Chain A
């Protein structure tokens, strides 16, 4: 059956338009891929994994806070002194972040449109389903992280510059800034909430990314599910610990 009409058929909000495939034009195929539902999920998966992999590194660095001002500030200075490291990582993360957010939002609207009308009654399927509160709230947790990250950068990276010296060299006393911030109950509460959200996002997102990338081996798929959930919980709890420890520390 060949569908010629692009008029909106009865009962639908979108017209269907048959697309002229196949084509041997690689550029056309690549462009179509990027805008397809499958391509969008692959892009979300790759950018999401990239962003998630940054978190354990970030967490490990932050744990140096527990080793005291000297060690932490020295670590911060060291990171800044490696040529190109900071700018490359920052620009890379920013690019991943923007692509991830952009594609998630465009996807969200496609999906909203696809389910035109709501059910009067809708239940979770149970059984083998992976649906969790984390998976149903990905767009909300994602947007929350989207708000958190700029605020976090404003507070920390672009926050007050307390000068100090390490081995006679001028350096930034980041330790003091973190301590000051995490003595504020409101800020601690805000961070705890956001870290729970990050954990939840990874809890579903990690295995979801590998499924999108085509990991169809059942054992591997189950492994990614368990690793992803553990990873999400671990990241959430790890980042949870810091503000609490700093807050209660004398």
Chain B
């Protein structure tokens, strides 16, 4: 087969990518950036598949593979999340790390990969962090109380369309933690705001409305997340593009609950 000389590099060997990856043996271990060179990356690969390729090579060579989290790999579960070249989930808006593809990059690029960094998200190992702080915020109030039994009729409780839309937008949050990772204060205001909004906008969420706002914000603070500086960096990196209007709503809910004589 005759291959034009100009194409030889790219067609035959795929993309050449240089990686600088954060390696850290455990929560209290000292971490560092480790350099890797990949010469055979297909532009069709997802970012995580590229890391899979690297890990297989590491395993074959008898080295420790790089620890990172993923599950659905279709942008819906929120398990993946990497700081890629200083941006949560990488350069594309509205995109999770697993939905980022190598075609976004050019042959010869260097990519720096770090874990989410926040005091409330301790690094477990390499690129995976402990996000159970989010679980505790949800457990503090991110629920509604319903009687179990037969499923209620779908339209028994009427919800205005506008409220349903706002609640749905907030409910799109997949709790990946990108908002915390990108925020200069490591604030969880967008996450908590989305969760407070999602339930408090609906009639089903109204019985616990005040208590929910109180407990979720208090838990958010207890976890050691910072305060919101209203820069909106979170909104810009959120893979579900959740609006900071939800933070404003949380502030109102929390203020009303704290000062308005809550139950």
Interface set of A (CB-CB < 8 Å, partner B): 1, 3, 9-14, 16-19, 21-22, 24, 26, 29-30, 32-33, 36-42, 107, 110-111, 113-131, 135-136, 138, 204, 207-208, 211-218, 221
> What separation, in Å, do the CA atoms of A83 and B251 have in the docked complex?
39
| Cβ contact of A130, chosen from B85, B130, B140, B230, cutoff 8 A | B230
Find B255's partner among A32, A42, A207, A211 (CB 8 Å cutoff): A42
B249 within 8 A of A: yes
Residues from chain A with a CB closer than 8 A to the CB of B175 are none
A42–B119 touching, CB < 8 Å: no
B231 touches A131 (CB 8 A): yes
22 contacts between A and B (CB under 8 A): A1-B139, A3-B136, A10-B27, A12-B120, A29-B262, A30-B259, A32-B258, A36-B218, A37-B189, A38-B255, A41-B228, A111-B184, A111-B229, A121-B112, A123-B86, A123-B87, A129-B232, A130-B232, A204-B231, A208-B229, A208-B230, A212-B230
B227 within 8 A of A: yes
**B118:A116 contact, CB within 8 angstroms:** yes
Q: Which residue of chain B has its CB nearest to the CB of A19?
A: B218
A213 contact set on B, CB distance < 8 A: 248, 251
Contact: A216 with B245, CB < 8 Å? Answer: yes
Give chain A nearest CB distance to B170 CB in angstroms.
11
Instruction: Tell me if A's interface is mostly helix, strand, loop or mixed.
Output: loop
Q: Does B144 contact A (CB under 8 A)?
A: no
Q: Is B123 an interface residue (CB 8 A)?
A: yes
B40 in the interface, Cβ–Cβ < 8 Å? no
Q: Using known A-B contacts A12-B122, A37-B187, determine if residue A125 contacts B230 with beta carbons closer than 8 Å.
A: no
Is A115 a contact partner of B218 (Cβ separation < 8 A)?
no
Q: Indicate if the CB atoms of A218 and B243 lie closer than 8 Å.
A: yes
**What per-residue 1/0 map shows which CB atoms of B208-237 lie under 8 Å from chain A?**
001100110111111111111111110111
Residues of A near B236 (CB, < 8 A) are: 125-129
Using A16-B120, A38-B251, A41-B251 as known contacts, list a sample of 8 further A-B pairs with CB atoms less than 8 Å apart, ordered by residue number in A: A14-B120, A21-B211, A36-B218, A38-B189, A111-B185, A115-B185, A214-B248, A221-B248
Do A215 and B119 form a contact, CB below 8 Å, given A33-B258, A39-B258, A128-B232? no
- For residue B48, CB closer than 8 A to chain A, the reply is no
Q: A119-B83, A221-B248 are in contact. Are A125 and B226 (CB under 8 A)?
A: no
Whether A117 contacts B117 by the Cβ 8 Å rule is yes
CA distance A10 to B121 in the complex (A): 10
Looking at A17, A21, A42, which has the most chain B CB atoms within 10 Å of its CB? Answer: A21
A22 near B211: Cβ-Cβ < 8 Å: yes
Q: Is the CB of B226 within 8 A of A111?
A: yes
B108 to chain A: which residues have CB within 8 Å? none
Q: How far is the CA of A135 from the CA of B229 in the complex (A)?
A: 8
On whether the beta carbons of B217 and A211 are closer than 8 Å, the reply is: no
Q: Nearest-CB distance from A130 to chain B (Å)?
A: 4
Give every chain A residue within 8 A of B27 (Cβ-Cβ): 9-11
Inter-subunit contact B117/A119 (CB<8 Å)? yes
Closest B residue to A207 using CB positions: B230
Q: Does A114 lie within 8 Å of B262, measured CB to CB?
A: no
Question: Hey, which chain B residues are within 8 Å of A115, CB to CB?
Answer: 117-119, 183-186, 226
A14, closest chain B residue (CB): B224
Name B258's closest neighbour in chain A (CB-CB): A33
- Closest B residue to A33 by beta carbon equals B258
Partner of A216, one of B118, B217, B246: B246
B221 neighbours in A (Cβ, 8 Å): 19, 36-37
Q: Does chain A have a CB within 8 A of B147?
A: no
Minimum Cβ distance to chain B for residue A83 (Å): 34
The complex places the Cα of A207 from the Cα of B228 at a distance, in Å, of 13
Chain B window 31-67, contacts with chain A (Cβ cutoff 8 Å), 1 for yes, 0 for no: 0010000000000000000000000000000000000
CA distance A111 to B225 in the complex (A): 8
A246–B249 Cα distance when bound, in Å, is 47
Is B168 part of the contact surface with A, judged by Cβ < 8 Å?
no
Is there contact, CB below 8 Å, between B254 and A12?
no
Q: Which of B28, B119, B218, B261 contacts A116 (CB 8 A)?
A: B119
Q: A38-B255, A39-B258, A218-B245 are in contact. Are A21 and B218 (CB under 8 A)?
A: yes
Give bound CA distance, A130 to B244, whole Å: 11
Closest to B245 in A: A216
- Complex contacts, B33 vs chain A, CB 8 Å: 120
Alpha-carbon separation in the docked complex, A214 to B236 (Å): 19
Is B124's CB within 8 Å of the partner chain A? yes
